[in-house]
Structure 1
Amino acid sequence: MAAETHAAHAVDLAPVVILLGSAVLAVPLFKKIGFGSVLGYLAAGLVIGPFGFRVFTEPSAILHVAELGVVMFLFIVGLEMQPSRLWSMRKEIFGLGLAQVGICILLLSWVGVALGYPAQTSLIAGTGFVLTSTAIVMQMLQERGDLAKPRGQKMVSILLFEDLAIVPLLALVAFLAPGGGEVTISERLIGVAIGLGCILGLVLAGRYLLNPIFRVLAAARAREVMTAASLLLVLGAAWWMQLGGLSTAMGAFLAGVLLSESSYRHELEADIEPFRGVLLGLLFLAVGMSLDLNVVVANWQVIAISVVAFTLLKAAGVYGVARLFRAGHREAIERTVLMTQGGEFAFVLYAAALAVGLIDPEGSAMLTAIIIVSMLMTPLFVLIHDRLMPEVEVDASGVETPHDARGTALLIGFGRFGQVVSQPLLARGYTITLIDNDPDMIRAAADFGFKVWYGDGARLDILHA
């Protein structure tokens, strides 16, 4: 009797074990054969989902949780974007990003019209495909080592603009809905004011509250509390922006930017990184599970034509804008290959359109299938691109390296001994990165003009960060 009672209240671990096991098996296998980790996650999700072994029958529940991976990823990206650096990228974000989104919307909106669908439905369908998958592109850039390179930063700028664009696009869905035009201008202005107020509140909190709070937490020397505070910061910023009707990912990114020059930046990045990786993998698994094979089979001709048309037209738009902004042919081709798929924000846009009656349930399922198929194709496109256009190796024969080249020193601990060691390094012209886990020492060093980062030098993840 007791055993039965215990079994009734025990947590069913089988789905969790299968979920993790499928990823552990599929991802290394797909990377081994050159398909990349993203396609491995998607394939594993398809196998264990409703149209495979039916271990999971409601992937939407997993998808809602896993979308936090994108939120945490953008927080980490924000940590790398100091305000001065972000300001220097304003032309790429609002120039390159606006040009690509605008031109691609104009091109893709005609696909639905050509297939006989109403203009409003066609506009929403095409616009959803324009929004590139932040998760896939970021993962690909990170795996290829291009995230910090100029070509990678341009793609990040476009993704950031697309994240900002989801707000007016959702407003467009509400306006196009039956009766949506009846919303008054004053109501729209109130919505805009609420959104701007949320942004201002987050900026003020980041500027005046976060550093003192983390200083108190660091003094407690409880690592688990710092980890909990890091999660609270990311999720709290996302929730706050959601209250204002804005993107959760935008809130996380803004929080990261506000802390990009904080002494606690590396500690925060190291604490969030494991959660980011697991949740992004879970997101790809859920996307693979969400592919409704019944809809694909019943409407395979329309879906096939739409995927091909959307992909080709978006590729033309991405390549054309890249060349217009003076990117080389190789860079434009690489950007085209990485950014021709639809993304996870399309699911948000289509769900909103379904809720207000702009598209019906079958149409929503077809559009979702089109986006998922395009996401599945991206790793294959990248594989073909890398085979046909391998990275050009620079011939360094006969080139002499500089005689006075110097590296950067990493100094862990800035107590009395660390201060003594730093003096001859500085005198010889070395630039030093300083790490210490004593908040009082960090503040004291700042008074003398030293920038010391907070972090535990014994942690490998801190050193990587």
Structure 2
Amino acid sequence: MSVENTTSDLINVVALLGAAVVAVPIFRRLGLGSVLGYLAAGLLIGPFGFGWFSDPQSILHVAELGVVMFLFVIGLEMRPSHLWSLRGEIFGLGTLQILTCTLLLTGVVYLFGYSLPVSFIGAMGFVLTSTAVVMQLLGERGDIALPRGQRIVSILLFEDLLIVPLLAIVALMSPVVHAQGGDSRWLGIGIAAASVAGLIAAGIWLLNPLFRILAAAKAREVMTAAALLVVLGAALLMQLGGLSMAMGAFLAGVLLSESTFRHQIEADIEPFRGILLGLFFLAVGMALDLGVVYRNWPFILGAVLAMMVVKAIAIYVVARVTRTCHAEALDRAVLMAQGGEFAFVLFAAAAAARVIDGETAANLTAIVVISMALTPLVATLFRRFTPKTQANLEGVDAAEGLSGSVLIIGFGRFGQVMSQSLLARDVDVTIIDTDIEMIRSAEEFGFKIYYGDGTRLDVLHACGADSARAIAVCINDREAANRIVELVNQEFTQAKLLVRSFDREHSLQLVAAGVDFQIRETFESAVQFGEAALVELGVPEDEAANIAAEVRRLDAERFELEMAAGDVRAGIPLMRGNIPTKPTPTPFTPPRREARPLNEEAAEAIGEEE
């Protein structure tokens, strides 16, 4: 019997993986995105398709860990200082959007003939946007790290926090609430607060020492197990405290965001996150009860359209009121005009508390699932048929139809000095940047700089990257530089790739990615500074030069040893040909004294990048 059960379980796993492997590439090839592919695959193999699975809710409970791990990875990118800088978006913009959507959506459900309490529950299930769907779409577009993406992430985080007070409101609305004492509610609040405090204490005093001990043991599989332990442990602690598992994982990620093990942890979690998130979307597709939809299709179809349209309008209006441009406001409205996975928890709790009946819960669940399925399709059609917006900035030319031997991305202090050697030899260069004030200032001194975001593939094409002999990445942003390297490796292999490195760890990543040249932004100037200090102290110039050369040699040897040991922590895929085991740094012979810039007045007046 156990053998039969094992075989049955294995068949289920194979069916899930097979459906995803077949459906997702097809939908991606059609330009519809992976989320819609997962949802369609789940519907196909679920109880209302081929019937290979009869209990999608059991899969959904496990698959929710994909959302949990997704938020943990997002937390790793959110340093506490950065999170604090978003407090206005999280609590200000988030509160305004949620209140507006709640009021309007409650009215929509009420107009369909439901009582006010049921209307409120149905509206709140739709107000809670799907974190999984929106984050997946943002990730596929590469927008998570951009300002518009960060604002959406801030609103999603605030919405995730709402599940706790909403469940408390459901309990208060229950007909059996009077059978419970008020002390239990205060006890629940105390437990929740203790859970948060415990997680923060563990993050500050326990997690880093734990990973330091495990790293010293040099057992990779134990590090992976520890990463999973942190994510699942934080989620479990928050769940036991009556809070959201996803918020617990996010908080754990934030606490580890400044850890030296951040990249290693993210690399260990990533495979599990991707698989479980895909499983989550499969389970959501299975959960769509076609029987309920068939019996009540006029109401469900009308409610889906009405609620998505009203929510989109509310989000757009709030965005415009808070001085967001038209294009970003419209994009946010399209992405967030759906219900979310927390609605399933809310509706189940409301049904258990007898606030809504079983049929109403099934109808509301179907409405949310259909809205989640429609969002990727609507977002794809919106981007396909809406003309791409460009920066409409007076006095600044956007990058379009350009060509040059060298494409320079970033014109801060580093890019300004670097470009002078090329300009001195009349090399045909194209320079792009996103700092509008710097572009305007540079033009006053004779520089022609174009507005363009180098992390976007369409901008790189417009800048002539496909015909450039060399691409120089001079920006002071590690993540953006990594993204550009990834795009160049994939699309513009004919160009030599030179990259400004942020630090030693970044240099290791860049060498592993196969860039043609990289240099740490402060290393060479620091070596020359030390050489000059020796000369000022009376050391002969020849001896000081030899010492500086020895510093460079020893650093290069350490760098080679680190590369040979595989000390490259996440970042950029290896996609630029065969990578030597021991890369040889490009020789660099500095002048005895720093040369005077060709245009020192311009370099000082244009402005600083850092």
Aligning the two structures, in what range does the TM-score lie when normalised by the shorter sequence?
0.7 to 0.9
Cα distance, 1:398–1:308 mapped onto 2, change above 3 Å: closer
Amino acid of the structure 1 residue aligned with 2:134: V
The answer (yes or no) to whether the contact 1:146–1:152 under 8 Å persists in 2 is yes
The answer (yes or no) to whether the contact 1:456–1:462 under 8 Å persists in 2 is no
List per-residue Cα deviations over 1:57-87 (Å, max 9, x = no partner). 1111110000000000010111111000000
Match of 1:404 among 400, 417, 431: 417
Q: CA deviation at 1:118?
A: 1.0
Which segments of structure 1 move beyond 6 Å, counting only runs of 4 or more?
397-400, 421-424, 454-457
Amino acid of the structure 2 residue aligned with 1:11: T
In structure 1, the residue matched to 2:112 is 115
Alignment of 1:16-31 (within 5 A): 16-31=13-28
Amino acid of the structure 2 residue aligned with 1:404: V
Q: CA deviation at 1:117?
A: 1.0
In structure 2, the residue matched to 1:426 is 523
Task: Give yes or no for the alignment of 1:295 onto 2:292.
Answer: yes
CA distance in 2, matches of 1:73, 1:193: 28
In structure 2, the residue matched to 1:215 is 212
Q: CA deviation at 1:383?
A: 1.5
Q: CA deviation at 1:189?
A: 2.7
Amino acid of the structure 2 residue aligned with 1:462: A
The answer (yes or no) to whether the contact 2:327–2:389 under 8 Å persists in 1 is no
Task: Give yes or no for the alignment of 1:90 onto 2:94.
Answer: no
In structure 2, the residue matched to 1:11 is 7
Match of 1:38 among 21, 28, 35: 35
In structure 1, the residue matched to 2:389 is 392
In structure 1, the residue matched to 2:140 is 143
CA distance in 2, matches of 1:97, 1:369: 26
Q: CA deviation at 1:190?
A: 2.5
The answer (yes or no) to whether the contact 2:501–2:521 under 8 Å persists in 1 is no
Q: CA deviation at 1:463?
A: 3.1
List per-residue Cα deviations over 1:11-59 (Å, max 9, x = no partner). 3322211110110110010010111000000000111111111111111
The answer (yes or no) to whether the contact 1:41–1:284 under 8 Å persists in 2 is yes
Cα distance, 1:257–1:413 mapped onto 2, change above 3 Å: closer
CA distance in 1, matches of 2:220, 2:563: 10
The answer (yes or no) to whether the contact 2:502–2:521 under 8 Å persists in 1 is no
CA distance in 2, matches of 1:348, 1:455: 48
CA distance in 1, matches of 2:169, 2:301: 27
Task: Give yes or no for the alignment of 1:77 onto 2:74.
Answer: yes
Amino acid of the structure 1 residue aligned with 2:572: H
The answer (yes or no) to whether the contact 1:319–1:336 under 8 Å persists in 2 is yes
Higher radius of gyration, 1 or 2:
2
The answer (yes or no) to whether the contact 1:455–1:462 under 8 Å persists in 2 is no
The answer (yes or no) to whether the contact 1:319–1:332 under 8 Å persists in 2 is yes
Amino acid of the structure 2 residue aligned with 1:76: V
Q: CA deviation at 1:9?
A: 6.5
Q: CA deviation at 1:455?
A: 12
Match of 1:241 among 238, 242, 245: 238
Cα distance, 1:260–1:370 mapped onto 2, change above 3 Å: same
Q: CA deviation at 1:413?
A: 10
Q: CA deviation at 1:398?
A: 8.0
- Percent identity over the alignment is 55
In structure 1, the residue matched to 2:431 is none
The answer (yes or no) to whether the contact 1:412–1:457 under 8 Å persists in 2 is no
SS at match of 2:7: coil
Amino acid of the structure 1 residue aligned with 2:399: D
Match of 2:321 among 324, 333, 336: 324
CA distance in 1, matches of 2:564, 2:66: 25
Amino acid of the structure 1 residue aligned with 2:417: D
Alignment of 1:340-359 (within 5 A): 340-359=337-356
Cα distance, 1:115–1:229 mapped onto 2, change above 3 Å: same
Q: CA deviation at 1:182?
A: 6.3
Count of equivalent residues: 434
List per-residue Cα deviations over 1:217-245 (Å, max 9, x = no partner). 11110111001111111000111111111
In structure 2, the residue matched to 1:158 is 155
Cα distance, 1:146–1:230 mapped onto 2, change above 3 Å: same
Unmatched tracts of structure 2, length 5 or more: 391-397, 419-473, 475-499, 509-517, 528-561, 574-610
Q: CA deviation at 1:391?
A: 2.6
The answer (yes or no) to whether the contact 1:46–1:288 under 8 Å persists in 2 is yes
Amino acid of the structure 1 residue aligned with 2:163: I
CA distance in 1, matches of 2:294, 2:401: 56
More moved, 405-414 vs 338-347: 405-414
CA distance in 2, matches of 1:246, 1:228: 24
Cα distance, 1:422–1:150 mapped onto 2, change above 3 Å: closer
CA distance in 2, matches of 1:424, 1:200: 40
In structure 1, the residue matched to 2:572 is 464
Amino acid of the structure 2 residue aligned with 1:233: V
CA distance in 1, matches of 2:154, 2:2: 53
Highest relative contact order (Cα 8 Å, sep 6+), 1 or 2?
1
Q: CA deviation at 1:194?
A: 1.6
Amino acid of the structure 1 residue aligned with 2:168: A
Q: CA deviation at 1:397?
A: 6.5
Q: CA deviation at 1:183?
A: 5.0
Task: Give yes or no for the alignment of 1:309 onto 2:306.
Answer: yes
CA distance in 1, matches of 2:361, 2:565: 50
List per-residue Cα deviations over 1:160-210 (Å, max 9, x = no partner). 000111111111111111132665554333322221111111111110011
Amino acid of the structure 2 residue aligned with 1:463: G
The answer (yes or no) to whether the contact 2:176–2:353 under 8 Å persists in 1 is no
CA distance in 1, matches of 2:334, 2:526: 43
CA distance in 2, matches of 1:378, 1:264: 36
CA distance in 2, matches of 1:351, 1:241: 19
Match of 2:189 among 192, 199, 203: 192
Q: CA deviation at 1:456?
A: 10
The answer (yes or no) to whether the contact 1:50–1:56 under 8 Å persists in 2 is yes
CA distance in 2, matches of 1:371, 1:210: 38
Q: CA deviation at 1:428?
A: 2.7
In structure 2, the residue matched to 1:442 is none
SS at match of 2:129: coil
SS at match of 1:178: coil
The answer (yes or no) to whether the contact 2:27–2:36 under 8 Å persists in 1 is yes
The answer (yes or no) to whether the contact 1:267–1:455 under 8 Å persists in 2 is no
In structure 2, the residue matched to 1:365 is 362
Amino acid of the structure 2 residue aligned with 1:236: G
Cα distance, 1:103–1:210 mapped onto 2, change above 3 Å: same
List per-residue Cα deviations over 1:384-433 (Å, max 9, x = no partner). 21122243353357899643254225535999xxxxx9999524379xxx
Length-normalised TM-score, structure 1: 0.88
List per-residue Cα deviations over 1:338-385 (Å, max 9, x = no partner). 000101000010010011111111111111100011011101111221
Q: CA deviation at 1:457?
A: 7.3
